[in-house]
Amino acid sequence: MIGSLVLAGYAALIGCAVPGRLARAAWVERAPRIAVLLWQALMVSFVVSLALAWYHLPASSEHLHGLLGTAAARLDDPDSAPHGAEGLDVLVPIGLTALWPAAWFGWVTLEARRRRGRHAELLELVGRPAPELRAVVLDHETPAAYCLPGRRPRVVLTSGALNALTTAQLQAVLAHERAHLTGRHHLATAAVEAFARAFPGLPLATAARESTAELLEMVCDDRALRSSSARALADAMCEVAAGGVPRAAFAAGSAAVLTRLRRLLRPSAPLHPAVRGGILLLGLVAAALPYFMTCGPVVG
């Protein structure tokens, strides 16, 4: 029982206390990619802690590897008598806890795929290919740029964007959007969206969804800066900030434009590699700690 309470307390800490601190941390703007990974690690840690807390309720004197041994024995001899926490019955709440967000991830992914499919069909009808830009152009006076991930990923520009942007600004926007596609950011977005639907109202779910959207834009800003100037990207961002985009797409001018502009025009020094490594290690520890709690000495 104590082990279950410890795991539940750890889940509460990860789910309620940590998100606010991480969302307000100043270093995340200096290492947005690592911050995205840390949010993902916290979500995994929360689900694992919750699932293992269920395991410890009926099996307070059993190690997790004892359950694994029971599973192996049952596979070898299906008629063998159960032992330890009524055999594999304890797997039911564990499985439900783990599969709940996984099921939501599947649903969110399919939902987004359907939206992208419908939008892709519209692009086939009203868009015109621009091979020189490796993009699709829509005739619309509002400057807008976004990407549509999927099996046939594409970058979409409006004619208004082509008219408003200089060559340097256009290249910066294209680099930003292609970074979304090559980074497969729609999967990270689907993960935080699924987690938020699985655990509505949980501070971790709300903060992870909001922060990840902004951080992914910063990741793409950094990628675009490899081939474009900060001024060109900032000016382009201002031009396309008002353009509307479909729900299943990523846009260069979305997600906390003012924060991203400040970051571009007043850049901070990148985090030291040792600090980056320490944060990554912290994320790994956070995700693995529930397992070690369960496999450590039984505390009853």
Q: Identify the pLDDT of residue 256.
A: 77
Q: Edge-to-edge strand order for the sheet containing 145-148?
A: 128-130, 135-138, 154-158, 145-148, 250-251
Question: Per-residue confidence of the chain (300 residues) as pLDDT tens digits?
Answer: 676 788 889 999 999 999 999 999 999 999 999 999 999 999 999 999 998 888 776 555 555 545 555 555 555 555 554 444 455 566 677 778 889 999 999 999 999 999 999 999 999 999 999 999 999 999 999 999 999 998 889 999 999 999 999 999 999 999 999 999 999 999 999 999 999 999 999 999 999 999 999 999 999 999 999 999 999 999 999 888 765 555 555 655 555 788 899 999 999 988 999 999 999 999 999 888 887 776 655 444
d(CA 182, CA 186): 10
Asked if residues 219 and 36 have their Cβ atoms less than 8 Å apart, the reply is yes
For residue 66, what are the contacts with CB-CB under 8 A and spacing of at least 6? 59, 84
Q: Three-class SS of residue 300?
A: coil
Q: Identify the pLDDT of residue 114.
A: 94
Asked if residues 230 and 159 have their Cβ atoms less than 8 Å apart, the reply is no
| Angle 143-145-147 from CA coordinates, rounded to 5° | 165
Distances, alpha carbon 170 to alpha carbons 23, 160, 183, 204, 275, in Å: 31, 12, 20, 36, 34
d(CA 182, CA 191): 17
Asked if residues 244 and 161 have their Cβ atoms less than 8 Å apart, the reply is no
d(CA 191, CA 104): 9
Which of 121, 109, 120 is closest to 155 using CA atoms? 120
Q: Identify the pLDDT of residue 295.
A: 65
Per DSSP, 155 falls in state E
The model's pTM is 0.85
**Maximum distance among all alpha carbons in the chain?**
74
For 89, list phi and psi in degrees, rounded to 5.
-60, -30
